[in-house]
Amino acid sequence: MRWPVLRFLLIGAVLFFGRALTERWSAASDPPPTVVSSGTSDEDLLVGQALARGFDRDAAVRRRLARLGQFVGEESGDEARLEQTARALGLERGDLVVRRHLAQMMQLASAHLGPSDLPSEAEASAYLVAHADAFTEPGRIDLVHVFLRREGDPAQTTARAATMGASLRACGGPPACTTGRGDAFLYGSVLGPATVDELTRLVGADVAQAAATAPPDEWVGPVASAYGLHFLWVRARTAPMVPPLAAVRGRVLHAMLRERGDARARAHLDAWREAAVVARAPDRN
């Protein structure tokens, strides 16, 4: 999802397949009101609407029913006969795999958005402002460190660290005062620009937190990690920021279309539930 081209391809695919299902939906006559109980779930409503519109004639559903027909007792026969066996048992409504497939098809069809639903530039800008927290880029730290591995003798490690710290502070900053100093580190001497979370994954929470609070252009340390000891020099630190719309347009459009599709699907579910004939509980008196 970091790549804008993939985001636009995904949006296009949703519009295309949603349109295909919607055309099948529109081509069918409106089914009569269904009979539901007051506690009917959304999935039951979706499955009922899908069946009423013939979505169970989908090739994947028919193949699944044919396999179920063979499983429940028909050892031979063509797919059509096996499918009818499964339908006679009501498996187009009862099989969990078929139900989920039908519900997903109906959900996609009911959430379909057309070209006219694409947000305008002004709407996308307003959405970015209203949902700034979701799109804020974290602050980053540009960090150089000098690493010392732990010696077998803790006293030797402490003495070596004290000597290194004094030498670094007397010399100044990188790169002149770091070349050839310290021990080789797995990720090199430059860590960043990176977020606090990224630094935590690389060198541990203690080093990451020290880098987040250290004054720039000044040696801090030694700070211990699971690897050894680190002397930190923060070259720059950037604050969290909301990127311009041009940088996150794909993510904004994806979020807006998802919300609009969900709202449209919800409106259809509410309308179907309202139009349904609610089955009355039998009178026990």
Q: Can you give the CATH number for the domain in which 192 is found?
A: 3.10.50.40
Q: How many domains does the chain have?
A: 2
Q: Say yes or no: 16 and 115 in one domain.
A: yes
Q: Say yes or no: 123 and 157 in one domain.
A: no
**CA angle, residues 158, 160, 163, in degrees to nearest 5:** 110
> Mean pLDDT over residues 25-35, rounded?
52
The amino acid occupying position 10 is: L
pLDDT number for residue 27:
44
Q: pLDDT at residue 282 above 50?
A: no
pLDDT number for residue 65:
86
Q: Say yes or no: 166 and 186 in one domain.
A: yes
Q: Say yes or no: 259 and 224 in one domain.
A: no
Q: Say yes or no: 50 and 118 in one domain.
A: yes
From the centroid of its chain, how far is CA 75?
Answer: 44
pLDDT number for residue 36:
55
Q: pLDDT at residue 115 above 70?
A: yes
SS3 label, residue 232: strand
Q: Say yes or no: 160 and 260 in one domain.
A: no
- What residue numbers bound the domain in which 27 lies? 4-131+246-278
pLDDT number for residue 42:
86
Q: What is the residue whose two structure tokens read 């699944």?
A: 64
Residue 116 lies in a domain: yes
Q: Say yes or no: 77 and 179 in one domain.
A: no
How far CA 217 is from CA of 139, 168, 211, 213, 235, in Å, comes to 18, 12, 11, 12, 6
Residue 284 lies in a domain: no
Q: Give the phi and the psi of residue 2 in degrees, each rounded to 5.
A: -80, -15
Residue 283 lies in a domain: no
Q: How confident is the model at residue 285 (pLDDT cuts 50, 70, 90)?
A: very low
Q: pLDDT at residue 252 above 90?
A: yes
In angstroms, the CA 268 to CA 108 distance is 11
In angstroms, the CA 151 to CA 228 distance is 9
pTM: 0.61
Q: pLDDT at residue 62 above 50?
A: yes
Q: Say yes or no: 169 and 269 in one domain.
A: no
Q: Say yes or no: 154 and 222 in one domain.
A: yes
Residue 92 lies in a domain: yes
Q: Say yes or no: 71 and 199 in one domain.
A: no
Residue 124 lies in a domain: yes
> Mean pLDDT over residues 87-92, rounded?
86
Q: Say yes or no: 154 and 24 in one domain.
A: no
The answer, yes or no, to whether the previous bond of 244 is cis (omega within 30 of 0) is no
User: Roughly how many angstroms between the first and final C-alpha of the chain, as a whole number?
Assistant: 60
> Mean pLDDT over residues 18-43, rounded?
58
Q: Say yes or no: 152 and 179 in one domain.
A: yes
pLDDT number for residue 83:
83
